[in-house]
Amino acid sequence: GRIGNFINAELWGKVTDVPWGVVFPNGGTLPRHPSQLYEALLEGLLLFVIILLYARKKPPAGRLSGLFLLGYAIARFVVEFVRVPDAHIGYTKLQWLHIDWLTRGQLLSLPMAIIGLYLLMRKPLTRDNPRKFG
């Protein structure tokens, strides 16, 4: 995943002056945020939280997926602020909302977060709470 992107010098971050900035081949001579490592770190933290919460007990239906979707969406949304958008995509222009600063990754994270929230907040199916389809 993202560690491979770091090793291959792909998907680097914006130019920075932080002490851990990295000069990537084909990324110019200025140090950049290692956004691949930020995302890998946040994904690892998310995995740790999920394991910590559900290692010994079975989560209600949809809870695990909801937590993952929401956590991944938040991590991706945050990391996109320091990542250079893909050259062929750039920033998403939602002119009707006067928003021109969202990246495509941030925009695609929003439905993921909404679905994750829905899965976390809905009542699980039980004998006391049967849902009928149709």
134 has pLDDT over 50: no
- pTM recorded for the entire structure: 0.80
Structure confidence at residue 90 (pLDDT): 61
Structure confidence at residue 61 (pLDDT): 82
Asked if 31 and 21 touch (Cβ cutoff 8 Å), the reply is: yes
Question: What is the band of 106 on the pLDDT scale with cuts at 50, 70, 90?
Answer: confident
Identity (one letter) of the amino acid at 116?
G
The tokens of 106 are what?
A: 């941030």
Percent of the chain topping pLDDT 70:
81
| Cβ neighbours of residue 12 closer than 8 Å, sequence gap 6 or more | 22, 24, 27, 32, 33, 34, 35, 36, 83, 84
Other beta carbons within 10 angstroms of residue 24's beta carbon come to 19
The better pLDDT of the pair 98, 53 is held by 53
Nearest to 2 by CA among 35, 50, 48, 45: 35
Question: What is the band of 85 on the pLDDT scale with cuts at 50, 70, 90?
Answer: confident
Structure confidence at residue 118 (pLDDT): 95
What is the arithmetic mean of pLDDT over 84-91?
70
